[in-house]
């Protein structure tokens, strides 16, 4: 039998590691609020002189197509950006990655720069190595038909073909509300919640520092749902984000709230009630802590019907949200 690309010892090892990690952490003991970085949900073959990859998606599961994202970089030359990446997916096994890879879907990943990135170059059609202060991912909508361990081969042309292979886990079901799911009617903390610690409303606030995005902390999800208002909900921890793709997601939503405040309610739920004590805010728990891992940031658009209309894990651009907001009719006051 021909040795397939995913049957390298390193790849099998990392898949096994993920398998073991999932098994070890999924027990019925008391669940700690454990925030994961991107590397905990993915891993990649590593070689300093090659392009490496890191899956940036959260909550991948069997079902309708969802957004798959992978970031690529070369330790010496910098992050890879622009152009497209050819993505091929392979099923590696239900419990580990030792089976024969089974070909799955293919997709073209388009480049998605992190918010705050400088304008693209005149010719953004080809992948290039970026300056080290620029970052982004390649994204494509992909549907997975079975749970377990999957591999992705991402190919880019950087003046010569470069291929990244990495493994990741696909769950049987989403653990974070998906498009079409009813939105949890959270009683999130607001600036008027009696006795709420400022840092639990927004991790940038403290007894001596005001909540910087107070406009996003005026109402609860429950109240907005009761009023049948669309909601843009950002669940994030501006201070304690540990994702390698951390960007100013909360700032993006705050800026949109100023321009589209007549289209939807805008709400920010801080992830942590007490980061040091590993205590999550109850509202954040309702949304993003049903599974084994806690990943953030997330942005949801909730329709006036109370169902999730769109969701964005880890990375969202102003343009993506703006396109959705422009389709909403102005709210009647």
Partner 1 sequence: MGRSAFPPTVACVVLALLGTACGSDGKSASGTSSTTVAQVTTSSETTASTAPTTTGPASVTIAGQTVTTARLRSIAAGLCEAATQAATDTSAAEKTFQGKSHDGLHLIARGLQDIDRPASATLLEAKEKVESDFSNHAAGTQVASHLRSLSEVTKSSLARFNVTVDACPAT
Q: Give residues in contact with partner 1 (CB under 8 A).
A: 9-10, 12-14, 16-18, 20-22, 24-25, 32, 34-37, 39-40, 43, 46, 75, 98, 131-133, 135, 203-204, 212, 238-244, 246, 248, 251, 275-276, 278
Report in angstroms how near the CB of residue 269 gets to partner 1 at its nearest.
18
Please tell me the distance from the alpha carbon of residue 181 to that of residue 262, in angstroms, as a whole number: 24
Q: Yes or no: say if 109 and 187 are a contact pair by the CB < 8 Å rule.
A: no
Query: Residue 255 contacts by C-beta under 8 Å, 6 or more apart in sequence?
Result: 318
Least distance (Å) between residue 132 CB and partner 1: 4
Distance CA 333, CA 327 (A): 18
What counts of helices (H) and strands (E) characterise the chain? 6, 16
Taking each helix axis from N to C terminus, what angle separates 249-260 and 318-325, rounded to the nearest 10 degrees? 30
> 41 with 295: CB under 8 angstroms?
yes
Smallest gap from residue 30 Cβ to partner 1 (A): 13
Q: Which residues contact 29 (CB under 8 A, 6 or more apart)?
A: none
Least distance (Å) between residue 83 CB and partner 1: 21
Output 209 or 262, the one with its CB closest to partner 1: 209
CB of 309 to partner 1, least distance (A): 29
CB 87 within 8 A of CB 138: yes
In angstroms, give the least distance from the CB of 239 to partner 1.
Answer: 4
Residue closer to partner 1 by CB (options 230, 270) is 270
CB-wise, 108 or 132, nearer to partner 1? 132
Measured from the CB atom, is 106 or 132 closer to partner 1? 132
Cβ distance 80 to 111 under 8 Å? no
CB-nearer residue toward partner 1: 39 or 108: 39
Of 199, 178, 220, 214, residue with least CA distance to 57: 178
Cβ closer to partner 1: 75 or 145? 75
């Amino acid at each position: 039998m021909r040795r397939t690309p995913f049957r390298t010892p390193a790849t099998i090892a990392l898949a096994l590691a993920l398998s073991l990690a999932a098994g070890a952490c999924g027990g019925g003991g008391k669940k700690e609020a454990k925030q994961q970085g991107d590397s905990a949900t993915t891993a990649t073959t590593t070689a300093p002189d090659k392009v490496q990859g890191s899956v940036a998606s959260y909550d991948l599961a069997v079902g309708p197509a969802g957004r798959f994202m992978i970031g690529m970089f070369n330790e010496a030359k910098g992050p890879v950006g622009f152009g497209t990446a050819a993505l091929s997916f392979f099923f590696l096994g239900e419990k580990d990655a030792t089976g024969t890879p089974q070909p799955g879907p293919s997709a073209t990943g388009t480049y998605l720069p992190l918010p705050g990135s400088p304008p693209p170059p005149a010719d953004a059609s080809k992948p290039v190595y970026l300056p080290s202060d620029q970052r982004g991912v390649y994204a494509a909508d992909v549907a997975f038909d079975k749970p377990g361990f999957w591999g992705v081969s991402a190919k880019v042309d950087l003046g010569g073909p470069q291929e990244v292979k990495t493994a990741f886990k696909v769950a049987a079901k989403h653990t974070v509300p998906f498009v079409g799911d009813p939105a949890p009617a959270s009683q999130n903390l607001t600036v008027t919640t009696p006795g709420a610690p400022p840092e639990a409303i927004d991790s940038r606030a403290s007894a001596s520092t005001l909540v910087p995005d107070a406009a996003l902390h005026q109402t609860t999800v429950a109240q907005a749902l009761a009023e049948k208002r669309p909601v843009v909900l950002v669940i994030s921890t501006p201070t304690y984000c540990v994702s390698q793709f951390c960007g100013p997601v909360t700032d993006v939503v705050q800026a949109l709230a100023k321009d589209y405040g007549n289209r939807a309610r805008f709400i920010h739920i801080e992830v942590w009630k007490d980061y040091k004590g590993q205590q999550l805010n109850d509202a954040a728990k309702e949304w993003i802590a049903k599974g084994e891992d806690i990943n953030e940031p997330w942005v949801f658009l909730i329709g006036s019907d109370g169902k999730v209309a769109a969701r964005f894990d880890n990375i969202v651009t102003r343009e993506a949200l703006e396109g959705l907001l422009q389709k909403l009719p102005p709210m009647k006051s």
